[in-house]
């Protein structure tokens, strides 16, 4: 495997990505590694405006096409402003959601043709793919129940069937790409994190034993 310096965390809503990606970031800092944590949508100043339009601005109704292009726009800006400069400076980039989210949600969930999403992802990322992706897999009911404990966004209000299609598209992606490591997101938080650490210790050199 190519040295993992660009690591993404993916999964359905409430799968525990934010929890695990931040734990890995903290561990890397603890070990003195140069790392940043960032997320999509909303990893830049303009991206935070896009995020608000996409997720929780009550006065904004977006067509599926507009939504798709806003996720792509957020990502292009995020790469230009944050991800590419950090990688060029030799940092480890930990990103909470990236291009696989667009495939899972906009193709799996919304039903856009996957070939078009793949082409759009390629164009908006300039071909920048993660070295490694941890996919937190949870049955849709569990993730939504976890998310329901706080203010829900537009996607969390989608139907159970929508979320089941998102989950299936993630699993299809993982089947076809060895970059994606599937983790049982319904296990306890500490257990999942130990699996992540062990994977990194055995497969790349960014983390000490
Ligand atoms: N989207 C995004 C698209 O449609 N297309 C795209 O291209 C992109 C980039 C983003 C939304 O936008 C969509 C996908 C999303 O719907 P968001 O707010 O970033 O919105 O939503 P999420 O990424 O889903 O963030 P969440 O916070 O909802 O989920 P996480 O990050 O998976 O979960 P986390 O870690 O915050 O945990 C949620 C709760 O569960 C607990 C945590 O303590 C927390 O309370 N928890 C666990 N409980 C028990 N066991 C575990 N193993 C647990 N792990 C976490």
Q: Ligand 1, closest atom to CA 20?
A: 35
Q: Ligand 1, closest atom to CA 154?
A: 16
Q: For residues 122, 123, 129 and 134, what is the CA-based torsion angle, rounded to 10 degrees?
A: -70
Does the beta carbon of 51 sit less than 6 angstroms from any atom of ligand 1? no
pLDDT tens track for 160-201: 999 999 999 999 999 999 999 999 999 999 999 999 999 999
Does the beta carbon of 97 sit less than 6 angstroms from any atom of ligand 1? yes
When pLDDT is cut at 50, 70 and 90, the band that residue 117 belongs to is: very high
Which pLDDT value is given to residue 146?
86
Which pLDDT value is given to residue 2?
58
Q: Which residues contact 196 (CB under 8 A, 6 or more apart)?
A: 20, 23, 24, 134, 183
Q: Ligand 1, closest atom to CA 136?
A: 32
Residues 52-80, mean pLDDT to the nearest whole number: 95
Q: Whose CA is nearest to atom 1 of ligand 1?
A: 101
Residues 126-145, mean pLDDT to the nearest whole number: 94
Q: Ligand 1, closest atom to CA 155?
A: 16
Question: Is residue 128 within 8 Å of residue 2, measured between CB atoms?
Answer: no
> Which percentage of the chain shows pLDDT scores above 90?
83
Does the beta carbon of 124 sit less than 6 angstroms from any atom of ligand 1? no
The mean pLDDT of the chain is: 94
Question: Is residue 98 within 8 Å of residue 40, measured between CB atoms?
Answer: yes
Q: What is the CA(197)–ligand 1 centre distance, in A?
A: 20
Which pLDDT value is given to residue 163?
95
pLDDT tens track for 70-93: 999 999 999 999 999 999 999 999
Q: What is the CA(182)–ligand 1 centre distance, in A?
A: 16
When pLDDT is cut at 50, 70 and 90, the band that residue 3 belongs to is: low
Query: Distance between CA 105 and CA 42 in Å, rounded?
Result: 17
Q: What is the CA(15)–ligand 1 centre distance, in A?
A: 6
Which pLDDT value is given to residue 201?
93
- Pocket probe mutation, ligand 1, options 15, 18, 70, 157, max atoms within 8 Å of Cβ: 18
Query: Distance between CA 107 and CA 15 in Å, rounded?
Result: 19
Task: Report how far Cα 7 is from the mean position of its chain's Cα atoms.
Answer: 9
DSSP string covering 166-179, please?
Answer: HHHHHHHHHHH-TT
Q: What is the CA(83)–ligand 1 centre distance, in A?
A: 21
Q: Whose CA is nearest to atom 23 of ligand 1?
A: 13
When pLDDT is cut at 50, 70 and 90, the band that residue 153 belongs to is: confident
Which pLDDT value is given to residue 152?
74
pTM for this structure? 0.96
Residues 95-114, mean pLDDT to the nearest whole number: 98
Which pLDDT value is given to residue 196?
98
pLDDT at 204 over 90: no
Q: Ligand 1, closest atom to CA 109?
A: 4
If we measure between CA atoms, which residue out of 119, 115, 39, 111 comes closest to residue 75? 39
Question: Is residue 145 within 8 Å of residue 186, measured between CB atoms?
Answer: no
When pLDDT is cut at 50, 70 and 90, the band that residue 1 belongs to is: low
Q: Which domains does the chain have, with CATH numbers?
A: 6-203 (3.40.50.300)
Residue whose pair of structure tokens reads 């990236």 in the numeric block? 98
């Amino acid at each position: 495997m190519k040295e993992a310096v660009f690591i993404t965390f993916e999964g359905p809503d409430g799968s525990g990505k934010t929890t695990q990606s931040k734990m890995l970031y903290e561990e890397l800092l603890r070990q003195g590694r140069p790392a940043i944590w960032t997320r999509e949508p909303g990893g830049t100043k303009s991206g935070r405006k896009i995020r608000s339009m996409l997720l929780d601005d009550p006065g904004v109704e977006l067509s599926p096409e507009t939504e798709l292009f806003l996720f792509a726009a957020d990502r292009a800006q995020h790469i230009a402003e944050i991800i590419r400069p950090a990688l060029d400076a030799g940092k480890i980039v930990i990103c909470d959601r990236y291009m696989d989210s667009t495939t899972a949600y906009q193709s799996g969930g919304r039903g856009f043709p996957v070939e078009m999403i793949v082409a759009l992802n390629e164009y908006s990322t300039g071909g920048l793919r993660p070295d490694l992706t941890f996919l937190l897999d949870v049955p849709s009911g569990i993730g939504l129940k976890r998310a329901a404990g706080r203010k829900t966004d537009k996607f969390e209000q989608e139907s159970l069937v929508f979320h089941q299609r998102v989950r299936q598209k993630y699993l299809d992606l993982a089947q076809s790409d060895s970059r994606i490591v599937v983790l049982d997101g319904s296990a306890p938080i500490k257990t999942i994190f130990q699996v992540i650490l062990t994977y990194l210790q055995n497969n790349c050199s960014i983390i000490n034993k």
